[in-house]
Amino acid sequence: SQQGEEDPQALSIQEGENATMNCSYKTSINNLQWYRQNSGRGLVHLILIRSNEREKHSGRLRVTLDTSKKSSSLLITASRAADTASYFCATDGIIQGAQKLVFGQGTRLTINP
């Protein structure tokens, strides 16, 4: 029942650079969410974007959604060491006949000082 797939699987950049992660999905969605997971911890919700929205901002985060291409991107500007984490997209899918969040496998982001 996997919906979203993140790309790249891993990304390593220098502190201060921008980081872009992409998520592609297969079937129509009502909304898409992005989460962050620090090593050994739970997931933290970042942004929810609805299917009728094209772009959303939260601090240094910018999320875009292109429903015609079935894809979303997460941009982190002016990256910091603390942004080192795995980032997941989650879309609404059907599990056992019920609408549920389905998570991708994540992008592992490393910010080098």
Partner 1 sequence: DVKVTQSSRYLVKRTGEKVFLECVQDMDHENMFWYRQDPGLGLRLIYFSYDVKMKEKGDIPEGYSVSREKKERFSLILESASTNQTSMYLCASSLNGRGSDQPQHFGDGTRLSIL
Residues that bind partner 1 (CB under 8 A): 1-2, 30-31, 33, 40-45, 48, 50, 88, 90-93, 95-96, 98-106
Cβ atoms of residues 100 and 2 within 8 Å: no
- Report angle CA 104, 68, 35 to the nearest 5 degrees: 25
- Other beta carbons within 10 angstroms of residue 79's beta carbon come to 21
Q: Closest approach of Cβ 46 to partner 1, in Å? A: 9
Q: In the sheet that 19-24 helps form, which strands lie side by side, from edge to edge?
A: 5-7, 19-24, 71-76, 61-66, 55-58
Q: Closest approach of Cβ 41 to partner 1, in Å? A: 5
Q: Closest approach of Cβ 67 to partner 1, in Å? A: 15
Question: Which one, 78 or 94, has the nearer CB to partner 1?
Answer: 94
Question: Which one, 14 or 96, has the nearer CB to partner 1?
Answer: 96
Question: Which one, 42 or 59, has the nearer CB to partner 1?
Answer: 42
